[in-house]
Structure 1
Amino acid sequence: MAELSVAKNELEEFKCSANDAIEFKLVRNVQDIDDEEKAFPPDMTHQVFGDSEMIFGYRGLKVSIYYTGSKLIPYLRISHSEVCNTKEHGVSPDDIEKLLAQELPPGYLTNLDTFKAALSDEATFKPFGEKIDSYTVTTKNGEERHFDVYFAKMEKSGFQKFHERIQSFIKFYIDAASYIDVDDPQWQYYFLFERYKEDGETRLAAAGYMTVYNFYAYPTHIRPRMSQVLVLTPFQRLGLGAKLVQTFYNTCYSRSDVLDITVEDPSDNFQRLRDFVDAQNCMKLKYFQLSELKKGFSHDMLHEAQTKLKLSKLQTRRMYEILRLKATDQSNKEEFREYRLDVKRRLNIPYMKTKRMFLKLENCLNPEEIAQTLGLVTKEQKFLTLENDFQTALAAYRRVLERLASS
């Protein structure tokens, strides 16, 4: 038993967190390769290494995934101080490169000298598509940084390879991410670049991207759906995600064929980002001013948000609830009670639909069959669920209001 325990403990020492072992780096010049301050970790690795996010079989493991700053040519280096012996330990080490090769774009480099040579070719990079927007961002230390947005479709030679390279980040930074079908012409691409000087020359470094799919909406409209939105880690906390979404919005406002704008399964982080942008825009509208918000949700609000901002009915109602909360004195019990009841009336709608269905089935099925069909809940369960849903929404709305206040 003691021998088994020792063997088990020894095997445990060959386990390490993939999140800790992997580092990314965007490299603009040779000096950046050894600059540890340029490195950044993944947000997640479960989509590559499994739910445990563990790598087995190595001690002192370091997985370096570097990209050239403009063309995003990838380089992979795996180093370790010790690897487990299959014969001695009875278990094979994880094939790290095999797992990563499924996510990294074809042709990734493993030779450092070849990667350095690729850096010397960065000055020739020209972005695909057309420039549609530019921003100047002032950082906390007073530095001005300049960014450009390019709009592109999967048309020009070489574009697919560039897209594959920037897309290779998503499994590490977007939960439940999947690669898109680039052969579908309904996809559109928005790329974010930082414009900077290197040896006196203006260059562009990849900073993020967004994909949008144009769904058909009967009879002559489209319904654009934002899919993947990613700002690379070194460029986060500069407000660039919100600016990129707003750039896309601006291309839709004047288009009569756009019915409304939707989002594909938004994460909590992206939902907050979208709420922030939409709330900022709604605050400028006539029917989202204080006097109108106090009257409750109205058709005028819905019409104005749909026609001017291309918001869906669901997102318009969400904006109303966020801005109504902003206009509510939360220390005033009566005011806050009115707000809470207003939100809960909306949350109660699915239960009312269930009740109507129950009345239709009452004469056809026995109580047990009805319960199994509808998944009925007691009044106490319904109350608790509604309260929990309200508190969840309230917490999300407050985070949006905090960002609005600090913007």
Structure 2
Amino acid sequence: MLRPAASSSSGRRRRSARSRHAPPQRSAVVPSGAPRPPQRLPAAADADGADARPAALSVRPPGPCSPRWAGSGRGYANEPRRARPSQRLPPQGGRGPRGWQRACARACARAPCLGQHQPFAACRGRKRKKERERVFSLPAGGRARWLVLPGSEMAGLTAMEKKLAEYKCNTNEAIQLKLVRFPEDLEDDNTTFNPEYSHQVFGDDEVAFGYKGLKILLYYIAGNLSTLFRIEYTSKVNEKFDCVEADDVESKIREIIPPGFCTNTDDFVSLLEKEVNFKPFGMLLHTYSVHNEEAGEDITYQIYKADMTCPGFREYHERLQTFLMWFIETASFIDVDDERWNYFLVFEKYNKDGATLFATVGYMTVYNYYVYPDKTRPRVSQMLILPPFQGEGHGAQLLETVHRYYMSSPTVLDITAEDPSENYIKLRDFVLVKLCQDMLCFSPGNLMQGFSQEMVMEAQQKLKINKQHTRRVYEILRLRATDMGDAEQSRSYRLDVKRRLIGPYKKKQRELAKMRRCLRPEELTNQLNQIDLNMQHEQLEESFQQLVSDYRRVLERLAQA
């Protein structure tokens, strides 16, 4: 183990006379190149050191001191504190000198600094003069943080950092997705699309380290979604970078894609030839057409309802749900063994060599919650339209079909959604307004009289829409019936909407009334300072204007439908 240099008894007496917070005079000193005995890693440390990340540190400009590891705690980098026994352990990179090198190199490679902190391994193999000792002080757990070098060495090693930075790849750009219908699509860049998110696989930075020109190919056959997975790159880090290891990209991808994928193009093309045998799963619910301007013809789409009892659907769903990781920010895989899940799938019909084939367009999963005493509440959990088909109205068709499917069930109370995104809320507004606009209770005359219980009851009984969503439908349809150029009608509409929006602010006022009875004067003053009535009015007006803007977009789309 690294032990502090022995101190004399007089030195101990002098130290006791100082403040107990003063930094020690001596630290663990290890001459350059000196071997270190084997040491045991801390129990909580990872063997590969993948989590060892450098932390921010205030560094005093280095003087004639030797290179030093800067640990956490009191003092500057050139005044390291004495390491406790639990801290005098090798960093997370292995044992012995190579372990120190790996930990330092990884730390600086994963988070490059501004020229002050350099990989320790860059100094490996060079003889040092006697006065250039390495002084180490580790933070708790044995993790190495930064290596601070004298000025001349900092300038010399900045090039190494720049070289390592070249081996960082943005995984959102490196991942290439493709839905293949014909063998020619494999070489057609126009059929390639990239993910919106990759943080759930590659971390918050969405970066893969250790490669130049990295390409992660994930090609799917358009119908049954059989997968081709291959990794390509022009260069990869090796021993010349002093034990800096590349991220294991392949294992990260293997964690989310099911087994049985292809790794070479020939096998993938052979599966493509069998695509003619693929048929959609489950029961057909709805068929519709969309005019394609490029093809100059109408393309037919179909929506099916499936479950895990359909032969082959479980394996198909395992491949389909991998798209969630790339296009839904907080996606997770569901428990397919739960029988309360319903699956709704969208397919496109197309012709190939005179045969009719099907391509996957998107899907939705719905969970049926129990409502006492004998009702269920379907809740939309996941909904995804694949990027090549977005902007063509498939999401609205899918959501409307699902609503119509549950409307016919007497045991369904209403339909909700789990943590809906803003885009989903706008889509739901459009679909529900489309369903409600012809109902008698939403006639212009009834709308101008205000929101009524009749609207709530009729929307819930006939369309399975809850009260909150019915209120938004009312506000959108009343906006269409209101002449906003008329001052009286405009004011009446604005006050009607703001009565709903002011709910959270009234709650704050009720809490303030309770504070007046309970808090001391000085505590009440602090709370009042946090409640600015003028700012509340500004926020309320801003919310109203944003809401009206969203409602107008819904009405514009409704007029074009």
* TM-score, length basis structure 1: 0.92
**Residue in 2 that maps onto 1:69:** 222
Q: Which has the higher helix share?
A: 1
| 1-structure distance, mates of 2:525, 2:476 | 35
Aligned in 2, Cα 1:374/1:129: closer, same or farther, shift over 3 Å?
Answer: farther
* Correspondence list, 1:299-314, <5 A: 299-314=453-468
1:293 deviation in Å?
Answer: 1.9
| 1-structure distance, mates of 2:332, 2:525 | 37
| 2-structure distance, mates of 1:137, 1:381 | 47
Q: Is the 8 A contact 1:354 1:374 kept in 2?
A: no
| 1-structure distance, mates of 2:507, 2:529 | 13
* Correspondence list, 1:28-43, <5 A: 28-43=181-196
Q: Partner letter of residue 152 of structure 1? A: A
Q: Is the 8 A contact 1:104 1:168 kept in 2?
A: yes
**Residue in 1 that maps onto 2:12:** none
Q: Is the 8 A contact 1:151 1:191 kept in 2?
A: yes
1:87 deviation in Å?
Answer: 4.6
* Correspondence list, 1:39-188, <5 A: 39-85=192-238, 87-88=240-241, 91-141=244-294, 142-188=296-342
Q: Which moved more, 1:244-253 or 1:52-61?
A: 52-61
| 1-structure distance, mates of 2:232, 2:387 | 23
**Residue in 1 that maps onto 2:166:** 13
Q: Partner letter of residue 158 of structure 1? A: G
The secondary structure found in structure 1 opposite 2:195 is coil
The secondary structure found in structure 2 opposite 1:107 is coil
| 2-structure distance, mates of 1:372, 1:181 | 48
1:382 deviation in Å?
Answer: 2.4
| Aligned with 1:263 (options 413, 417, 420) | 417
| 2-structure distance, mates of 1:258, 1:208 | 25
Gaps of 5+ in 1: none
1:103 deviation in Å?
Answer: 1.8
Aligned in 2, Cα 1:401/1:11: closer, same or farther, shift over 3 Å?
Answer: farther
Aligned in 2, Cα 1:3/1:251: closer, same or farther, shift over 3 Å?
Answer: same
Q: Is the 8 A contact 1:139 1:238 kept in 2?
A: no
**Residue in 1 that maps onto 2:536:** 382
* TM-score, length basis structure 2: 0.68
Q: Which moved more, 1:314-323 or 1:103-112?
A: 103-112
Aligned in 2, Cα 1:85/1:367: closer, same or farther, shift over 3 Å?
Answer: farther
1:337 deviation in Å?
Answer: 3.0
Aligned in 2, Cα 1:79/1:145: closer, same or farther, shift over 3 Å?
Answer: same
**Residue in 1 that maps onto 2:353:** 199
CA deviation map 1:143-181 (0-9, x unaligned) = 211111111112234221111111110111112111111
- Give the number of the structure with larger relative contact order, counting CA–CA contacts within 8 Å between residues 6 or more apart: 1
The secondary structure found in structure 2 opposite 1:94 is coil
**Residue in 1 that maps onto 2:377:** 223
Q: Partner letter of residue 259 of structure 2? A: P
1:182 deviation in Å?
Answer: 0.7
1:330 deviation in Å?
Answer: 3.5
| 2-structure distance, mates of 1:368, 1:20 | 55
**Residue in 1 that maps onto 2:505:** 351
1:278 deviation in Å?
Answer: 0.9
Q: Is the 8 A contact 1:207 1:231 kept in 2?
A: yes
Q: Which moved more, 1:382-391 or 1:359-368?
A: 359-368
Q: Sequence identity, in percent? A: 46
1:357 deviation in Å?
Answer: 5.0
| 1-structure distance, mates of 2:258, 2:528 | 47
CA deviation map 1:48-96 (0-9, x unaligned) = 2222222222222222110011110111121111112355165322222
1:365 deviation in Å?
Answer: 5.1
| 2-structure distance, mates of 1:249, 1:105 | 32
Gaps of 5+ in 2: 1-153
CA deviation map 1:83-122 (0-9, x unaligned) = 1235516532222212211222222221222211211221
Q: Partner letter of residue 204 of structure 2? A: D
| 2-structure distance, mates of 1:33, 1:164 | 23
Q: Which moved more, 1:323-332 or 1:194-203?
A: 323-332
Aligned in 2, Cα 1:140/1:334: closer, same or farther, shift over 3 Å?
Answer: farther
| Aligned with 2:496 (options 321, 324, 342) | 342
- Confirm or deny that 1:278 pairs with 2:432: yes
1:398 deviation in Å?
Answer: 2.8
Q: Which moved more, 1:250-259 or 1:80-89?
A: 80-89
Aligned in 2, Cα 1:182/1:368: closer, same or farther, shift over 3 Å?
Answer: farther
| 1-structure distance, mates of 2:433, 2:543 | 21
Q: Which moved more, 1:208-217 or 1:393-402?
A: 393-402
